[in-house]
Amino acid sequence: MTIGVTGATGQLGRLVIQKLKQKVPASDIVALVRNPAKASDLGVAVREADYDRPETLGPALKGIDTLMFISASEIGKRLAQHRNVIAAAKKAGVKRIVYTSLLHADKSPINLASEHLPTENEIKASGIPYTILRNGWYTENYTGSIGGALAGGAFLGSAGEGKIASAARADFADAAVAAVTGTGHDGKTYELAGDSSWTLGDLAKEISRQTGKNIAYRNLPESEYAKTLEGFGLPKALAAVIASWDVGASKGGLDDGSHQLSKLIGHPTTPMPDTVREALKKQNA
């Protein structure tokens, strides 16, 4: 069985390739990437597959049995890009698609659902057997801001007391590998989230505990948080959507207690304090 992995040079994609190589021969894996030069260190076959250039997708998907379809990263362009991939997969005779969607995409208050849910429906309409992995938030989405929090003495956000059932990116990579290499997943949609939930206030307390510094959580109105992110150098549109995701979290968009992720991967998800510890190690290295 030949497994193709899209977005293989991204942070999740690299982990998926690495973990797949522990389960199946490297010769059975194909990295599908926009820029093949960036994939030379993956240790598997590499093919150019540009979501925006359908002419690259047909040749890239030729002979692929299972497609690990990691969603595109360009917000606002993704649905069109995803349609290109699905159409090419159908034409190339791909036998199965495993797609990374968004937690509770059918009811999420987070605007990313507006591209993920239609993609899920397009995959189902294609007639290709599928598995939908509705990924929750990576803990790293927040621990990436620890440096700024330590510098400024506060962790900023707009999530209020919203519970976030996150897991480490590696846990979601394990889920992708389990779905791709295991059996009994066809036609299934999994809601994937961490075993325990926490608030941004809890995160600030954990950073304080591990660093010995007093880091408070400052909850800002959405518009103020967006302006603050802009002040840190983020593009205006990106700052606005990041702030809106926090508001979505305040409405329960990132919480889930079903434990489907740990059941799928066969081990508990990585606790938030462990990911904080790793982030601090990297920062101090």
User: pLDDT (tens digit, 9 = 90+) per residue, 22-61?
Assistant: 999 999 999 999 999 999 999 999 999 999 999 999 999 9
In this predicted structure, what is the pLDDT of residue 73?
Answer: 86
If pLDDT is split at 50, 70 and 90, which confidence band does 284 have? confident
Does the pLDDT at position 263 exceed 80?
yes
In this predicted structure, what is the pLDDT of residue 63?
Answer: 97
- Average pLDDT of the segment spanning 136-162: 95
In this predicted structure, what is the pLDDT of residue 117?
Answer: 97
Q: Where are the domains of the chain?
A: 3-135, 143-163+195-256+270-284
Residue 178 dihedral angles phi and psi, to the nearest 5°? -60, -45
SS (H, E, C) 117-185: HHHHHHHHHHCCCEEEEEECCECHHHHCCHHHHHHHCEEEECCCCCCECCECHHHHHHHHHHHHHCCCC
Task: Output the six-digit token pair for 268.
Answer: 């508990």
Out of 3.90.79.10, 3.60.15.10, 3.40.50.720, 3.30.200.20, select the CATH number for domain 3-135. Answer: 3.40.50.720
**What pLDDT digit, counting tens, does each position of 179-198 carry?**
999 999 999 999 999 999 99
- Average pLDDT of the segment spanning 116-140: 97
Considering the entire predicted model, what is its pTM?
0.96
In this predicted structure, what is the pLDDT of residue 152?
Answer: 92
Does the pLDDT at position 140 exceed 90?
yes
Does the pLDDT at position 285 exceed 90?
no
In this predicted structure, what is the pLDDT of residue 46?
Answer: 97
Does the CA dihedral 119-124-128-132 come out positive or negative?
positive
- Do 108 and 253 contact (CB within 8 A), yes or no? yes
CATH number of 143-163+195-256+270-284: 3.90.25.10
Give residue 80's identity as a one-letter amino acid code.
Answer: A
In this predicted structure, what is the pLDDT of residue 271?
Answer: 98
